[in-house]
Amino acid sequence: MMGFIWFWLVAVMIVGYVVLDGFDLGVGVLHLFLVRTEAERKAALASIGPVWDGNEVWLLAGGGTLYFAFPLLYASAFSGFYLPLMIVLWLLILRGISLELRNHVEVGVWRALLDGVFGLASVLLTIFFGAALANVLRGVPLQADGYFFLPLWTNWQPGVQPGILDWYTVIGGLVALVALTLHGALWLTIKVSGDLAQRARRIVTPLWLVLAALTVVSLVATIAVRPASLYNYFNYPFTFVVPAGVIASLAGIWLLNRKAQPVKAFLCSCLYLFFMLAGACWGLYPTLLPATTGADRNITLQNAISGPHTLAVGLVWWSFGMALAACYIVFVYSKFRGKVDLSSAGH
């Protein structure tokens, strides 16, 4: 029972990070081509300025929870994925530096450079996060001792000895890039006004069309690469509500954006990300990290979970910590509610 609970608690923290920091990353991607004037750039950054660093804490908290509940998975994944983790770490650092420094530098060329770094780091982070999830769904070449190594790429095929990047993980990266860019565009329609808000709303439609196509492609590709991801759905048919939720949330984004209801459209985008990630987790359960070298080497709940006393005590402290985090989120998002002023880039 504890294994089931902690599996979904970790999943909830991952979903929380993707939903909350996802629009930050999406705004960063849009910062490359949607904004046109300095006032619009400041407004776009001000829309995420009060919350972006708090949103990223969910990534750290998720990693800490993973270490606490599933130490074998943490040890194996964080060593095998060492190269992409270092890339992600540097991208997070560069993104944070560019966000913090651009308003303290009055030289135009440096400000343009920092804007470019912010946008490029955001693009690469979305792609790497999507590819990371695809790597987990596809599986990794786990050895008998529970460890593995992945080069950045091999022959671009998801075989027994794959690389971090292959045709399947690239699809995952593209899904994340488009989904989070759409998420960011919907956030901007809520937080900014004027021409920038109108352009953000108009770009939702083409992004939605691409996302709908990529969602279908990613589903077919996942079934082809890992047919076992369907087992739980057929064993528990009521869980087909998850893919139905993906379809319904996509439809909601389309309809509500056309009706100029940005808050509801944004909430549908949150639901889309939730259902996509929940569906991926359910397709894995009870496996935590599949092995391409044989199912007997899979890292599962049974062989990765901590002791029962540790998990019981941890559940108490986790609940306390999450209650504090929930209060913080409510306070910050209510404190900085409303639209950003384009002229002063303030709330």
Task: Provide the Cα torsion 6, 8, 11, 16; round to 10°.
Answer: -100
Name which of 120-124, 175-179, 267-271, 309-313 the model is least confident about.
309-313
pLDDT classification of 229: cutoffs 50, 70, 90: very high
What average pLDDT does the chain have?
A: 91
Contacts of 296-302 with C-beta under 8 Å, sequence gap 24+, read 297/142, 297/143, 297/144, 297/146, 298/142, 299/70, 299/72, 299/73, 299/76, 299/142, 299/146, 301/3, 301/4, 301/7, 301/70, 302/3
Q: How confident is the model at residue 90 (pLDDT cuts 50, 70, 90)?
A: very high
Q: Using CA atoms, how far apart are residues 272 and 208, in angstroms rounded to an integer?
A: 12
- In this predicted structure, the answer to whether residue 224 has a pLDDT above a threshold of 70 is yes
Confidence of residue 238 (pLDDT cuts 50, 70, 90): very high
The token duo for 256 is: 């509500």
What's the rounded mean pLDDT across residues 299-304?
Answer: 90
More confident residue, 341 or 273: 273
What is the structure's pLDDT at 344?
A: 54
Query: How much is the pLDDT for 220?
Result: 96
List the one residue out of 158, 115, 116 whose CA is nearest residue 135: 158
The pLDDT score that the predictor gives to residue 342 is: 59
Percent of the chain at pLDDT > 70 equals 98
CA gap 192, 187 in Å, rounded: 9
| Tokens encoding 179 | 């989904």
Quick: pLDDT tens for 239-268.
999 999 999 999 999 999 999 999 999 999
pLDDT of residue 127: 96
Contact 46/345 with Cβ under 8 angstroms? yes
Angle value at C-alpha 70, between 64 and 76, nearest 5 degrees: 90
Residue 111: pLDDT band (50, 70, 90) is confident
Taking Cα atoms as reference points, which of 66, 180, 64, 65 lies closest to residue 125? 180
Residues 66, 318: Cα–Cα separation, whole Å: 12
User: Could you tell me what percent of the chain has a pLDDT over 90?
Assistant: 63
Predicted confidence at residue 343, as pLDDT, reads: 60
Tell me the pLDDT band of 141, cut-offs 50, 70 and 90. Answer: very high
Q: What is the DSSP letter of 153?
A: B
Q: For position 347, what pLDDT does the model report?
A: 45
**What's the pLDDT score for residue 99?**
87
